[in-house]
């Protein structure tokens, strides 16, 4: 059990540069919320629904994170900062990172029967702050949801979703998924020498190179025009 806790805390430390020790991570509201949820979920599975709700409400009071006791959560979930809502039939895979003010919400069933109505998140998914993921949809492995995106449709593996209503940026997963990149930010690319750089930096470099080429062409045309003018005289 101690080894599992140590591995969990180390997985958070690998995704968050802020903590100086594992003891500090134990004070994170997201860590406390997951701990309370494990107890509440065990009670929920035992059909002790009222006790499960008591633990749920205590956790929400202490952490400002509301995880329904029925939600299924895999290993190494990291909820950074908090203010997050996770619904009853939500399913979360392993090594998922959720930033603040995220909702894994449900849709109201037209037939009045509960059933599956909350999202399913695959492994290694990153949810940016303020994102709203609604309905019984699937966010596939290694997908990333950008900040404040509203997602109501299935997301394919490795896709990056942005906007309202969210759309895919069509960034190939292999461009960024080699290691954890926080905050639902842009992927990492490589320069001509194979060094890893931010994609925005790469695009800015390409833009500057194109501007330089255009200026060189303008200068060349101006020189040619002057030569032709001198010849005509």
Q: What is the bridge-based pairing of β-strands 160-163 and 166-168?
A: antiparallel
How far is residue 221's CA from residue 199's CA, in Å, rounded to a whole number? 33
* Overall domain count for the chain: 2
Name 195's Cβ contacts closer than 8 Å, sequence gap at least 6: none
- DSSP H or E segment with residue 226: helix 199-232
Across 174-196, average pLDDT: 57
Residue 230 pLDDT exceeds 80: no
**Statement to judge: residues 134 and 221 lie in one domain:** no
The domain of 133 spans 2-185
Same domain, 166 and 224: no
pTM above 0.85, yes or no: no
pLDDT exceeds 70 at position 12:
yes
Backbone angles phi, psi at 97, to 5 degrees: -120, 125
Distances from the Cα of 90 to the Cαs of 12, 103, 191, in angstroms?
21, 11, 40
> How large a percentage of the chain has pLDDT more than 90?
62
Q: Are residues 150 and 229 in the same domain?
A: no
- Is the same domain home to 26 and 113? yes
CA separation (Å) from 87 to 43, 188, 231? 17, 33, 80
Span 47-98, pLDDT tens digits: 999 999 999 999 999 999 999 999 999 999 999 998 999 999 999 999 999 9
- pLDDT average, residue stretch 132-160: 93
Count of C-beta atoms within a 10 Å radius of residue 217:
10
- Do residues 147 and 78 share a domain? yes
Same domain, 175 and 195: no
- Verify that 53 and 22 share a domain, yes or no: yes
């Amino acid at each position: 059990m101690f080894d599992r806790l140590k591995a969990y805390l180390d997985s958070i430390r690998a995704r968050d540069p802020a903590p100086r020790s594992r003891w500090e991570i134990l004070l994170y509201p997201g860590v406390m919320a997951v701990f309370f949820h494990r107890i509440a979920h065990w009670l929920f599975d035992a059909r002790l629904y009222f006790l499960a709700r008591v633990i749920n409400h205590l956790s929400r009071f202490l952490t400002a994170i509301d995880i329904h006791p029925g939600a299924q959560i895999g290993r190494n979930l990291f909820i950074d900062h908090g203010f997050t809502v996770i619904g009853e039939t939500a399913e979360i895979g392993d090594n998922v990172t959720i930033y603040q003010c995220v909702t894994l919400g449900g849709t109201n069933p037209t037939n009045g029967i509960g059933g599956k109505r909350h999202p399913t998140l695959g492994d290694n998914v990153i949810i940016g702050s303020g994102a709203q993921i609604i309905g019984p949809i699937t966010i596939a492995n290694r997908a990333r949801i950008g900040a404040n995106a509203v997602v109501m449709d299935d997301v394919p593996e490795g896709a990056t979703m942005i906007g309202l209503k969210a759309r895919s940026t069509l960034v190939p997963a292999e461009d960024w998924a080699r290691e954890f990149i926080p905050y639902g930010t842009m992927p990492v690319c490589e320069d001509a020498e194979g060094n890893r750089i931010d994609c925005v930096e790469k695009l800015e470099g390409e833009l500057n190179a194109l501007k330089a080429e255009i200026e060189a062409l303008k200068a060349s045309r101006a020189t040619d025009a002057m030569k032709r003018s001198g010849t005509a005289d």
